[in-house]
Structure 1
Amino acid sequence: MRIIKLGLTILVSTVLLFALSACGQNDIQKVRVGEVTHSIFYAPQYVALSQGFFEDEGLEIVLQGTFGGDKTMTALLSDGIDIALVGSETSIYVYAQGTTDPVINFAQLTQTDGTFLVSREKVENFTWDQLKGSTFLGQRKGGMPQMVGEFVLKKHGIDPHNDLNLIQNIEFANIASAFGSGTGDYVQLFEPTASVFEQEGKGHIVASFGEESGHVPYTTFMTKQSYLNDNKEIVEKFTRAIYKAQQWVESHSAQEIAEAIQPFFEDTDVALIETVVNRYKEQGSYATNPILDEDEWNNLQDIMREAGELPVEVDHSVLVETKLIEEIISE
């Protein structure tokens, strides 16, 4: 009789264990995230993944590359992804087209430009006016790197279309290789390419566009208004995980961050990752919380307007969600 009771106890325990396990699996919510490019610039996102912050919130993140602002927005608007990590200017472009389901910025990840000015020749005591008359390999027209680049050049009294031989007809993915093969005297590059070129003697970092342009919502998590309305809990959990990661990045060294995100950059030496992370940390590129404030939003539109790329002025309250984040921070 005791054997039968023991057997029944084991059976019931096993059934309960499987039931609880199945329940736990059903509680996991899958979120498809499209990143405009794969970059160390987005370190807090990879920290959230590596440290299990999304998992703690019951989220399974399916991360995919969408490679370019236009393609990222297409994927979001067609429901190919749930959340996009891309420049905030794209939400303004979509809004200007008269959409009935606008794209809402809900969590800022980076708060400065992430590009650097790289010179082919070593320049002692660099000043921006040294660019005049040079061949400048710029970024794609209409994108944030190009708009910030022109904003900074004009800030230093340089007309990019008259004072430079400006090249903008090269695809984003090919800009670095074009400079490496001999095109241009100066180039605007993201990390880690800028540091790799410096290590290999192919170029020299002489200035930071991020330091020069001030705070701007350079890369933000955004989603459609309809998704935000229907999945508020998921967006809250997602934002909470990002906030934890931002705080983790703020309180840890560049070396610790590099080691945490290295699995996402297997082909990049951890020492190089550390160099890049340190450079971004020192210039305050990583936002310390997800709030996209009104000053940053207005700075973005000033940069777009200066570049002739602002289709319509949009109030901060129309395309930016802040109440949700404020509640999370106050928890």
Structure 2
Amino acid sequence: MRKKIKIGLTILLSAMLVFSIAGCSDKKESLKKVRIAEVTRSIFYAPQYVAIEKGFFKDEGLDVTLTTTPGGDKTMTALISNGADVALVGSETSIYVYAQGSSDPVINFAQLTQTDGTFLVSRDKIDNFNWDMLKGTTFLGQRKGGMPQMVGEFVLKNHGIDPHKDLNLIQNIDFANVANAFASGTGDFVQLFEPTASIFEKEGKGHIVASFGKESGHVPYTTFMAKQSYMKKNKDTVEKFTRAIYKAQQWVDSHSAAETAKVIAPFFENTDLGLIETVVDRYKAQGSFATDPILDEDEWNNLQNIMNEAGELPKQIDHSTLVNTSIAEKVIKK
């Protein structure tokens, strides 16, 4: 009798396990897949990683896959060729695509960062830095036409420095090799992202003397965007995606840099946790992380002013043409 009961329990438990596995499988299959292409892997994008690690996307019924496609051109190519559903890249790329006469424009629907994310790093330690110190020096800048370089030139001009006359401006080095070039001895000053800027400071290779983010004001530096056709066919998905990002933005805003660092650490396995915290704290302090996904008209106009100042604006484009704020507004109201 006991043997029969034992066999019966075994069968029951096996059946429960099968149904449990099937249930999990069904749940996973029911999740809507969304492919994200990010322009680079950066602590600057902390809220995105929080949305993944805290399960905010899954809570919305989304199964996201994240791929790093280095460079704005590669990221936009992935989006346009249907290699990705959503791109995280600078808003200037959507302007470039539209200016080329695209029949399916790329629409900005959720802003992630609202300032430039680069810092001015000096080879020598400077206690009382002022921007005039750059005149006559060799400045290692970023790629021509990219947001870092355009913001850099915008800030320099605001301080009375003509980057093409007052400096020996070097900007023919690939984004991935700029830091290595400076570390090898090229340039007196360099424009760097984190965590490289802080790593250089820690190792004595350079010293952070100014923030381009503080100097340039609010600008849609990195935004989630998708093709207009995708957004029309996947309205619910885009709304759920935006809601997950908003939850993450609010989470980062209301939690300490140390807590955020611990959550996003899996995305930066080779970076010291203390350094991640330092970088998150620096970006939080200067308001780089947007606290909501709305890309407003003032920010859009500031972006075009910066592009125009750099001679890279193909034509003035209305905010309503390439920006959709209705989804973000709806998400925030709910």
- In the superposition, the TM-score normalised over structure 1's length comes to 0.95
Residue 271 of structure 1 corresponds to 274
Whole-Å separation in 1 of the counterparts to 2:39 and 2:18: 45
Residue 131 of structure 1 deviates from its aligned partner by: 0.3
Opposite residue 164 of structure 2, the aligned amino acid is: H
Moved more, 22-31 or 251-260: 22-31
Structure 1 residues 16, 160: CA separation in 2 closer, same or farther (over 3 Å shift)?
A: same
Residue 320 of structure 1 corresponds to 323
Residue 302 of structure 1 corresponds to 305
Residue 11 of structure 1 deviates from its aligned partner by: 9.9
Residue 226 of structure 2 corresponds to 223
Residue 66 of structure 1 corresponds to 69
- Match among 47, 51, 63 for residue 50 of structure 2: 47
Residue 191 of structure 1 corresponds to 194
Residue 171 of structure 1 corresponds to 174
- Match among 101, 104, 107 for residue 107 of structure 2: 104
Residue 24 of structure 1 deviates from its aligned partner by: 2.1
1:181-213 alpha-carbon deviations (Å, 9 max, x no partner): 000000000000000000011100000000000
- Match among 22, 29, 32 for residue 29 of structure 1: 32
Structure 1 residues 145, 8: CA separation in 2 closer, same or farther (over 3 Å shift)?
A: closer
Whole-Å separation in 1 of the counterparts to 2:10 and 2:117: 63
Residue 23 of structure 1 deviates from its aligned partner by: 3.8
Residue 289 of structure 2 corresponds to 286
SS in 2 for 1:130: helix
Whole-Å separation in 2 of the counterparts to 1:9 and 1:270: 46
1:200-253 alpha-carbon deviations (Å, 9 max, x no partner): 111000000000000000000000000000011111111100000000000000
Structure 1 residues 192, 9: CA separation in 2 closer, same or farther (over 3 Å shift)?
A: closer
Residue 312 of structure 1 deviates from its aligned partner by: 1.1
- Match among 207, 211, 229 for residue 210 of structure 2: 207
1:14-69 alpha-carbon deviations (Å, 9 max, x no partner): 88766654542332111110000000000000011111101111111110011001
In the alignment, does 2:131 pair up with 1:128?
A: yes
- Match among 86, 89, 93 for residue 86 of structure 1: 89
Residue 248 of structure 1 corresponds to 251
In the alignment, does 2:130 pair up with 1:137?
A: no
- Match among 260, 265, 290 for residue 263 of structure 2: 260
Percent identity of equivalent pairs? 72
Structure 1 residues 320, 127: CA separation in 2 closer, same or farther (over 3 Å shift)?
A: same
Structure 1 residues 233, 165: CA separation in 2 closer, same or farther (over 3 Å shift)?
A: same
Cα-Cα RMSD? 1.9
Q: How many residues align?
A: 329
Opposite residue 216 of structure 2, the aligned amino acid is: S
Residue 117 of structure 1 corresponds to 120
Whole-Å separation in 1 of the counterparts to 2:300 and 2:185: 37
SS in 2 for 1:154: helix
Whole-Å separation in 2 of the counterparts to 1:22 and 1:131: 59
Whole-Å separation in 1 of the counterparts to 2:37 and 2:45: 12
Gaps of 5+ in 1: none
SS in 1 for 2:165: coil
Opposite residue 187 of structure 2, the aligned amino acid is: G
The 4+ residue runs of structure 1 with deviation greater than 4 A are 5-22
Residue 182 of structure 1 corresponds to 185
Residue 6 of structure 1 deviates from its aligned partner by: 10
Structure 1 residues 162, 55: CA separation in 2 closer, same or farther (over 3 Å shift)?
A: same
Structure 1 residues 128, 8: CA separation in 2 closer, same or farther (over 3 Å shift)?
A: closer
Structure 1 residues 317, 8: CA separation in 2 closer, same or farther (over 3 Å shift)?
A: same
Residue 140 of structure 1 deviates from its aligned partner by: 0.3
Structure 1 residues 161, 28: CA separation in 2 closer, same or farther (over 3 Å shift)?
A: same
Gaps of 5+ in 2: 1-7
